[in-house]
Amino acid sequence: MQMQWASVSTTEPIIADAITQASDRLMDILWQEPDLVFVFVATNHRSQFSLLPSLLRQEFTTATVLGSLCQNSIGEGREHEDESTITLFGASLPDVKLQTAHLAEKHLPPTYAERSLWDSLLHLTEVPECMVVLAAPFTIDTELFLKGLDRHYPTTTKLGGLASGVDQSETPCLLLNDQIYTSGIITLAMSGDIAVDTLVAQGCRPIGDPMFANNTHENLIIELDGKVPRDVLTELHGKLDRADRQLFTNSLFLGIAMEAQREHYAAGDFLIRAILGLDPQSGALWINSPVPTHSVVQLHVRDAATSAQELEQILQRYRSSPNSNLAASALLFSCTGRGVQLYGHANHDTNAFKQALSDIPLAGCFCNGEIGQVRGLTYLHSFSSVFGIFRNKASLNTH
């Protein structure tokens, strides 16, 4: 049997009325109670977030329910920026097994622990086809958790994001069934007749040349090709045209090569990381994540045109693949720095998706960090859009 999905959003200001309204519309589309419901709640409803479990359970008595607080939700194929919006994303999933878990920082298993420990903490009885990860920012080492998932479940596709609109560590921001959480990670593992294809758009283009990070200490780069990073940046700035100098000043990032032994590098070969600044005494460069010594790096800039072009290329490549004809729905986890703030107009990424892949149900949220796979490894991204496109796994054998 084929899965069925529906995405609905409401701007009803009273949360109880919003849940009732959205649930009724969801059931009208699906014709039955869904097996799974995602809920993405804009921060305008933050003070009422803790009411969600009881409200949702009145509407969905047996469904697995999970979701997060977000600066803005995405629903019905639109990016609802600066709106008091709640989005429900429901699915009827025959022949799919759902397993959920919540992990606090103190329960995070060591990366190299036995897989049986990970299975136990994640409530897994088999290796899932895919896993959705939602996390509370500032409360858990999400990147370390993802590294452990990749080690123990390398064939599992992972995607997700960090809640946004969280102004303090004790903010209720995660929902799993009948519980609200202010910290940690919630996971949804999906097994059986389901598959998900992930697309990650990082929105940057390289400038200058690839370099070796000769000398690093955690997230501090002390030397680039044997030179002080401040001198490297000054030299490159002098070679750029006026437009790129402006981007250099306002939108400069560092790309860390995902494959260190290549002869040539191009856009898309790098994991993009934010630059925090220069050390005033030494001229070393601070990055927002560790940089391995001797890794290949390259400076990148970001603007609306680059981001739009990259997303279009990624979507067109997927459209030409056999899987695109089987797509049933999609989740979108997008950075709060995209949307109108980047493009100057609303719905850029959702419109690009619909134009490339038809108007399948699409929902998600704007995140404080996006989780997606690039070349088989899972990363916590910034300023990215991560699409997870769901389809029946068995359908590949019948087409």
- The pLDDT of residue 396: 55
- The pLDDT of residue 289: 85
**What number of other Cβ atoms are within 10 A of residue 162's Cβ?**
26
**Distance between CA atoms of 56 and 33, rounded to whole angstroms?**
12
DSSP 110: P
**268-321 pLDDT per residue, tens:** 788 899 899 999 999 999 998 889 999 999 999 988 998 999 999 999 999 999
Name the stretches of the chain with pLDDT < 50. Answer: 397-399
The pTM (predicted TM-score) of the whole model is 0.91
Spatial contact of 357 and 315, defined as CB atoms under 8 Å apart:
yes
**Distance between CA atoms of 384 and 326, rounded to whole angstroms?**
25
- The pLDDT of residue 235: 94
Cα separations in angstroms, 304 against 2, 15, 73, 122, 232: 38, 35, 21, 39, 26
Q: Break the chain into its structural domains and give their ranges.
A: 4-201+307-397, 205-301
As a three-state string, the secondary structure of 238-291 is: HHCCHHHHHHHHHCEEEEEECCCCCCCCCCCCEEEEEEEEECCCCCCEEECCCC
**372-382 pLDDT per residue, tens:** 998 889 999 98
The closest alpha carbon to 22, from 79, 103, 85, 73, belongs to 85
- The pLDDT of residue 398: 41
